[in-house]
Structure 1
């Protein structure tokens, strides 16, 4: 493999690992928001923002954590035959099937960029009574999809190297 591709893999893997490790703690932020929501509903006046904010935090959690999940190979996979194959056979099959992921991510990214541009241009807000601006969560969505696209490219490069018999260390 050319050194530039190895460098790309190292940089993307390291960056997504850091982002994923930081975003992992977002579940605690969401739990704190929901705990506050429960307490405020029973002891004080209910807050309008808590449920929607918890949804935004959860969306950021799984969108920004998607690349890390892909990197760790911890996503859901149908494993009827795949688990019995050699690493080289797995890599060859993954090289072919990852293009379906690229198509899916392309359309997600295209729609996300279009939706984010609309939210920024027109100051789009949610339809709830709280009415938060939608642009921040849409920006996070686009960043998460882009990071997943970069990680999928890194995995493709690693799978090609394994299929060729020269894995990237």
Structure 2
């Protein structure tokens, strides 16, 4: 169990790193959005186009990436929505068992299905043709727009990081259910965003 918990902690570190990237994306998204608004009004005032479709699309790409990369972070910290009118009154072991079963039966299969369903559209976006040859990337239909392939690839990245974190959570829930020392404290530290030793 110790090796599995060490593995889950390694995944947790990856999730924390990816989560920290989303914080930077929030700032970048705000800056790009702020520039787009100012450029639109100033450009109208002086009669010059100061913004472009690429910058507008960059703004929603960054906004999408915040969500894509935030899924695993939210799961790790227990910030996801719960209907817990019964759950809160259960013992820690009962909660861990329910979380373990839910993760194994729902979250992990959902992630695997999401990756599997997204692979073909993402490859087609990168230019994979039906005959197996490679063509050009999928490009935005808007003039001067950005390529669609990189943002579509983030769908797979989002499901992959969520899958890894779901595995890490399942390990922690199992450790709590089996009564492994300090396992409950690890999960509580995740929820309260406390640093682990």
Task: Calculate the TM-score normalised by the size of structure 1.
Answer: 0.91
Secondary structure of the structure 1 residue equivalent to 2:53 = coil
The answer to which of 28-37 and 102-111 deviates more is 102-111
Matched, 1:111 2:117: yes
The RMSD of aligned alpha carbons is 1.6
Matched, 1:148 2:157: no
Q: Distance in 1 between matches of 2:91 and 2:125?
A: 47
- 1:129: how far off? 2.6
Structure 1 spans left out of the alignment, 5+ residues: none
- Tell me the residue number matched to 1:11: 10
Which deviations, in whole Å up to 9, do the C-alpha atoms of 1:25-58 show, x marking residues without a partner? 2111111111011011100124222332111101
Task: Calculate the TM-score normalised by the size of structure 2.
Answer: 0.79
Which deviations, in whole Å up to 9, do the C-alpha atoms of 1:49-106 show, x marking residues without a partner? 2332111101111111111111111111112211222211111111111121122212
The structure whose Rg is larger is 2
Q: Distance in 1 between matches of 2:88 and 2:54?
A: 45
Q: Distance in 1 between matches of 2:119 and 2:23?
A: 25
For the Cα contact (< 8 Å) 2:15–2:161, is it kept in 1?
yes
- Tell me the residue number matched to 1:136: 150
- Tell me the residue number matched to 2:194: none
- 1:2: how far off? 4.9
For the Cα contact (< 8 Å) 1:88–1:162, is it kept in 2?
yes
For the Cα contact (< 8 Å) 1:41–1:47, is it kept in 2?
no
The answer to which of 150-159 and 137-146 deviates more is 137-146
- Tell me the residue number matched to 1:53: 58
User: Which of 72, 76, 81 is the matching residue for 1:67?
Assistant: 72
Q: Distance in 2 between matches of 1:14 and 1:48?
A: 36
Matched, 1:120 2:140: no
- 1:142: how far off? 1.4
Secondary structure of the structure 2 residue equivalent to 1:24 = helix
Mapping for residues 88-103 of structure 1, pairs under 5 Å:
88-98=93-103, 99-103=105-109
